[in-house]
Amino acid sequence: MAEEERKGLSNKAIVGGGAIITLITVFFQNGGNDFLKEVLTHKEDPPGTSPTVVAPSEKEIAAAFEKEIAAAFQKALQIEEETNSKISETSTSEETWSNVIQNWQKAIQLMRKIPSSDADRYSTAKEKLQTYQNQLLYAEALKFGSAASNLTEPAINNTLPKEQWQKIEELWKQAQEKLNAISTDDPIYPRVGRKLEEYKQNGIYSYQAGLAASWLQGVRVAQEASNLVKTANTPNDWIRISGFWQQAIELMQSVPSGYVRYSEAIKKTSEYQNNLRYSQQQTSI
């Protein structure tokens, strides 16, 4: 190992049963990576004698360094294999994708330990590092997608508010950004392309749903008010109905100008304001 790669040594002796165990902490800097490696050496001395510090040989330091690198390389490959075997793209669990993300981050951290001076592993490590980084981006994209899908689910039976659709739309955008960052020459890119198109369509749908949300909610609230009018008998009934008309008015006023039914929303606002005035008059009868 080149002398300039070893940046410093610190040592301390531990006495135990007549054996002097010296813990040598070696700081390496190699290929842009930092390593801290502890090398244990010992010397048999008679009990009661002063501890003798035994510095590790260059060979021992090199062996410790090699052991660290080999362990990191093998652990990264193991994480890769385990993670790939557990991935299911149909999963909508954000927790599942969080675990996958953590695995790829750990694998990346381990592969970055492989120095350029390691002729046997560096080339493979460099390729694996690129693969892991792309897999990480893909997993992050699918986590965003899962979050968006989970937020959209209630819309099957209920109309979501505009703010909710805007949040969902933003999640789809974040997912697309992650996918767009993946290298086009990566083996997973065919899957990336399909997901990208899917997420684009989902984002467009969310945007359009956000535009329509206030209109649809306004119509539903107005319908509820109209139904209550049929059975209203007391001032409290009319107070409740007035509240519905007020809510419907506010929803129609929040319909964005880019929505295709914007002009109708303006007319509905005027109609609901008349209904509100009538309901408020009934509370005093």
pLDDT tens digits, 232-282: 999 999 999 999 999 999 999 999 998 999 999 999 999 999 999 999 999
Look at the alpha carbons of 226, 227, 230, 235 in this order and tell me if their dihedral is positive or negative: negative
118, 126 Cβ separation under 8 angstroms: no
pLDDT bin (cut points 50, 70, 90) of residue 44 is low
Output 201 or 49, whichever has higher pLDDT.
Answer: 201
| Range 122-127, long-range pairs (CB < 8 A, 24+ positions) | 122/31, 125/73, 125/76
Compute the half-sphere exposure of residue 193: CA atoms within 13 Å on the CB side of its CA: 7
Q: Which two tokens stand for residue 28?
A: 């390496």
Diameter over CA atoms, the chain: 108
18 burial level (CB within 10 Å; 0-12, 13-18, 19+): exposed
pLDDT bin (cut points 50, 70, 90) of residue 54 is low
Q: What is the pLDDT of residue 26?
A: 38
Question: Is 156's pLDDT higher than 70?
Answer: no
pLDDT in tens, 211-227: 999 999 999 999 999 99
The residue type of 95 is E
pLDDT in tens, 164-191: 999 999 999 999 999 999 999 999 999 9
Q: Round to whole Å and give the CA distance between 272 and 253.
A: 11
Domain ranges of the chain: 1-56, 214-282
pLDDT bin (cut points 50, 70, 90) of residue 9 is very low
Predicted TM-score (pTM) of this structure: 0.74
- The whole-number average pLDDT for the span 5-14 is 41
Q: What is the pLDDT of residue 244?
A: 97
pLDDT bin (cut points 50, 70, 90) of residue 159 is confident
pLDDT in tens, 72-123: 999 999 999 999 988 776 676 889 999 999 999 999 999 999 999 998 999 9
pLDDT bin (cut points 50, 70, 90) of residue 49 is low
